Amino acid sequence: LLLGVSGTSVEKNITLDSATRIELSCRLDSEYSHLKSLQVTWKRGNETIRHINKTENSWSIQLRILDNSKLGSYSCVLQGEEEISAVFHLQVPKIEGKEKPIVSYEGDTVVMICKTFGYTPIAWTWYVTNGSEQIAVNDSLLADKYVIDRISANVTHLKILKLTKEDEGVYWCEAAFELGKSIGKLKLKVLSLMVPLKPFLAIVAEVVILVTIVFLYEMYLKKKEKCA
Amino acid sequence: SSPAERKEEEPEAPAAGQSRSAGAMDGGWAWAAVLHFFLVNVLIMGMLKTFGIFFVAFQEEVGGSSEQVSWIGSIMSSLRFLGAPLVAVVCRKLGEWLTSIIGAGLVAGGCLLSTQATSVPFLCVSMGVLLGMGFACLYQAAAVMTAKRCRTRLALSNAIARSGMGLTFLMAPFTQLLIDLYGWQGTLLIFGGIMLNLVPSSMLLRPTSTHPPQRTAAKTQERGFLMAKKDSETLDGCLDESTPRETQLRSARDLPSTEGLMTSHDRDVSGPGDTSALERLKKPSTEGCSPETAAEAKRKTVPLTEKDSSEPLLDFSPLKDPVFFIFTWSFFFSHLAYFVPIFHLVARARTLGISSMDASYLIAVAGITETISQLLSGWVADQNWTKKYHYHVAYLVLSGVTNLLCPLATTFPWLMTYVVAFAVCCGGFMALVLPVLVDLVGVQKLHSYLGFAAFFAGIGAAGGPPLAGWLYDYTQTYVCSFLFAGACALVSPLSFLFEPLAQRWKLKKANM
């Protein structure tokens, strides 16, 4: 049972992972109840829904969500002197990818993780972007390159072995729910060992210079003491 | 004894001139030691604090449970303290210069080795053990060297060096940036390089063999033993930390410090320097501040040859010294009182409904206030208006009271007030830990005392956070942690009440 209290335009996200019955209702605040002449419409896109249950201050619809086609945005519009509306977005659970790219090195192994929170997907699939296509990662075909582990019901790991520069790019993890699929995006960056080595060598060079300076200064002091 | 005195003074004059130029150098080397200590604080504390950022990266890539990965951090930070007695031995054998360089090498090596890590136990050893021992070496060497060099303004120098800890908040965003750019392995590689910087800075810790002021200050203790009042008048403030203190304490620590003076000289001084040290003992050069007597010089040269071999390698004498227990008791409880509130401050703010943005302001304010307070406290303590440990006790009591009042702070302004007050007190007593120890036991024995004291503090540091966590789990509120910290802070200065008693006991023992 979900309520939308209106004053201005309101949106609400509802996450569903399996088939269920749901009731959406729009309830008007008591301040506005003086607006008697109200016409309420429930819509999904352009399609109007009938079977509106009306009580004193609220109008609701009941939905049976069985598959992906029933998901989407449902809105209730109260037409009076002003138009007040509320929108409900019915969605599958989202997967979190990573905003920042995952950094790894050539020849090394990297583990990419995808999680869902609270909802258990039926299956996980990984895709790698090759050019503009998404190709599924087949770990039985390339068993010494990719390993897909389902660590727990909500977590999946893609382990990529023996990284090369070509493995760099965008990866997708897809979770299949009863009501649909959801995708998370992950970026992989593969660096050669030279990349961090350069600043390191720069720092080492600086250290060597400092050590030399201190040594020379000490020798200079010793000479001074000998002469004095 | 006055004609003998005058005779001694004459050869002093040319030597004094020579040492005046060396004295200017001394000032330079003292600042070098402070700079090195500052760097050590920044890098060590920075590494310890940013470990949390590595924690996340390790967990994801290397695997292992949260508990296992946090072992790495625990080993790293507790070895820093627990390794101190061992490091004290190494320092006295090899000298601070070499120990510090070895420490820097260990730390850099540990970082570099960790880049190859593939499992948590590997990391435990490479990061935990190597880095922990390296830190212990660095810290011990730097602290004792600073104490040896900055005789007059030790509290202020210590405070300046410790203010390095305040800068560590810059390390966190920097580390995060490096991890984003290079991944954790690249970051560790670069950190290894940064830690290598400690090698040239350790080279600044030149042995004090050629520097008179340090010995003369020790000698003023002995002089006091022979000619108490007279010398306290002639003592120039430029050499001594606290004259009244010296004359009071000299009797108690005279004999031990004589031995310490002789034997640690043998250790500090390199081969050729030995004979020159001997000569200098006979003809002390003092920058014109404090005259010597022939009688004293004779007294000193005799023990020199005798006491050479009598000092054992691992010096357990601190454990027999009541002053040590006084200091360690206070050190241990004050560390507990320091770490626990910091650990739980943010959590408490959250439970009071304060947002994390505001909570991080609290931390930032605490850090800045503590740094400023350390500097002020160091400066004030150096003015020698009263004995340093009086300040220490005062700060501890105040911080205890503040902590006990903390549960009353339930809104953001009050919590901010608490944080400021707490940071002022903490900065105050933290800056004085080293100077108080130096006051109590003198510089010669500092290595072993500091080593063992750090060992016990390490037990406190290792046990403190889990204890605080247990307190929370048991009472379900963070209020108890603050009350506990307040109680610790009030318990810790109690031991100082026994200090005059302990000194008298030592004097009696020495006289027997």
Give this complex's ipTM: 0.71
Average pLDDT of span B129-140: 89
What is the model's pLDDT at position A37?
65
CA atoms of B439 and B429, how far apart (whole Å): 15
Tell me, what CATH number does B75's domain have?
1.20.1250.20
pLDDT at B169 over 80: no
Residues of A in contact with B186 (CB under 8 A): 103, 105, 191, 195-196
Choose the final residue of a domain: A47, A63, A91. A91
Q: Is residue A145 part of a domain?
A: yes
Is residue A186 domain-shared with residue A105, that is, in the same domain?
Answer: yes
What is the model's pLDDT at position B278?
35
Tell me what the pLDDT averaged over chain B comes to: 71
Q: Is residue B258 part of a domain?
A: no
pLDDT at B491 over 80: yes
A113, A199, A211 ranked by CB distance to B203: nearest: A211
Is residue A37 domain-shared with residue A113, that is, in the same domain?
Answer: no
Higher-pLDDT residue of A177, B315: A177
Is residue A138 domain-shared with residue A173, that is, in the same domain?
Answer: yes
Residue A172 structural domain: 95-191
Q: Is residue B426 part of a domain?
A: yes
What is the model's pLDDT at position B463?
75
Is residue B202 domain-shared with residue B347, that is, in the same domain?
Answer: no
pLDDT at B275 over 70: no
Residues of B in contact with A228 (CB under 8 A): 18, 21
Q: Is residue B289 part of a domain?
A: no
pLDDT at A82 over 50: yes
Q: Is residue A209 part of a domain?
A: no
Least confident among A104-113, B98-107, B278-287: B278-287
Is residue B321 domain-shared with residue B203, that is, in the same domain?
Answer: no
Is residue A85 domain-shared with residue A18, that is, in the same domain?
Answer: yes
What does DSSP say about strands A83-91 and A10-15: parallel, antiparallel, or unpaired?
Answer: parallel
Measured CA distances, B128 to A152, B188, B196, B456, B458 (Å): 30, 13, 18, 19, 15
Six-digit token pair at B266? 């043998």
Choose the final residue of a domain: B192, B207, B222. B207
Which DSSP state fits A82?
A: S
Is residue A74 domain-shared with residue A110, that is, in the same domain?
Answer: no
What is the model's pLDDT at position B113?
87
Residue whose C-alpha is closest to residue B342's, from B490, B175, B174, B464: B464
Which are the contacts of B398, defined by CB distance < 8 A and separation ≥ 6?
B421, B425, B428
Q: Is residue B351 part of a domain?
A: yes
Q: Is residue B298 part of a domain?
A: no
Q: Is residue B5 part of a domain?
A: no
pLDDT-above-70 percentage for chain A: 87
Six-digit token pair at B418? 């608490």
A196 → chain B, closest CA residue: B186
A208 → chain B, closest CA residue: B200
CB contact under 8 A, B203 and A111: no
CA atoms of B49 and B170, how far apart (whole Å): 11
Is residue B326 domain-shared with residue B203, that is, in the same domain?
Answer: no
Six-digit token pair at B300? 């000193």
Q: Is residue A212 part of a domain?
A: no
pLDDT tier at B460, thresholds 50, 70, 90: confident
The domain total for chain B is 2
- Over residues A182-201, the pLDDT tens digits come to 888 888 888 888 888 888 88
Is residue A60 domain-shared with residue A104, that is, in the same domain?
Answer: no
Which are the contacts of A177, defined by CB distance < 8 A and separation ≥ 6?
A17, A18, A92, A93, A119, A121, A122
B18, B183, B190 ranked by CB distance to A199: nearest: B190
Q: Is residue A224 part of a domain?
A: no
What is the model's pLDDT at position B266?
34
Residues of A in contact with B203 (CB under 8 A): 211, 214-215, 218
CA atoms of A176 and B325, how far apart (whole Å): 66
Residue B36 structural domain: 26-207
CB contact under 8 A, B194 and A203: yes
Average pLDDT of span B387-416: 83
Place of tokens 């990866």: A171
Choose the final residue of a domain: A66, A91, A116. A91
Choose the final residue of a domain: B156, B179, B207. B207
- Over residues A93-117, the pLDDT tens digits come to 888 777 778 888 888 888 888 888 8
Is residue B364 domain-shared with residue B491, that is, in the same domain?
Answer: yes
Interface of A with B (CB under 8 A): 100, 102-105, 108, 110-111, 113, 191, 195-197, 199-200, 203-204, 206-207, 210-211, 213-215, 218, 221, 225, 228
CA atoms of A183 and A198, how far apart (whole Å): 37
What is the model's pLDDT at position B279?
36
What is the model's pLDDT at position B281?
35
Dihedral, B267, B270, B271, B274 alpha carbons, nearest 10: -70
The domain total for chain A is 2
Residues of B in contact with A211 (CB under 8 A): 199-200, 203
Q: Is residue A220 part of a domain?
A: no
Least confident among A119-128, A160-169, B57-66: B57-66
pLDDT tier at B336, thresholds 50, 70, 90: confident
A108, A111, A204 ranked by CB distance to B60: nearest: A111
pLDDT at B304 over 50: no
Q: Is residue B308 part of a domain?
A: no
Residues of A in contact with B185 (CB under 8 A): 105, 108, 196
Residues of B in contact with A104 (CB under 8 A): 183
Choose the final residue of a domain: B166, B191, B207. B207
Measured CA distances, B53 to A226, B48, B56, B133 (Å): 52, 10, 6, 21
Least confident among B37-41, B177-181, B318-322, B412-416: B318-322
What is the model's pLDDT at position A209?
92
A225 → chain B, closest CA residue: B22
Tell me, what CATH number does A49's domain have?
2.60.40.10
pLDDT tier at A35, thresholds 50, 70, 90: low
Q: Is residue B360 part of a domain?
A: yes
Choose the final residue of a domain: A31, A62, A91. A91
Q: Which helix (H) or strand (E) holds A75?
A: strand A72-79
Q: Is residue A153 part of a domain?
A: yes
Is residue B326 domain-shared with residue B198, that is, in the same domain?
Answer: no
pLDDT tier at B16, thresholds 50, 70, 90: very low
Is residue A137 domain-shared with residue A169, that is, in the same domain?
Answer: yes
Interface of B with A (CB under 8 A): 18, 21, 25, 60-61, 179-183, 185-187, 189-190, 192-194, 196-197, 199-201, 203-204, 206, 210
CA atoms of A70 and A90, how far apart (whole Å): 9
Is residue A57 domain-shared with residue A77, that is, in the same domain?
Answer: yes
Q: Which helix (H) or strand (E) holds A183?
A: strand A180-191
pLDDT-above-70 percentage for chain B: 72
Is residue A109 domain-shared with residue A177, that is, in the same domain?
Answer: yes
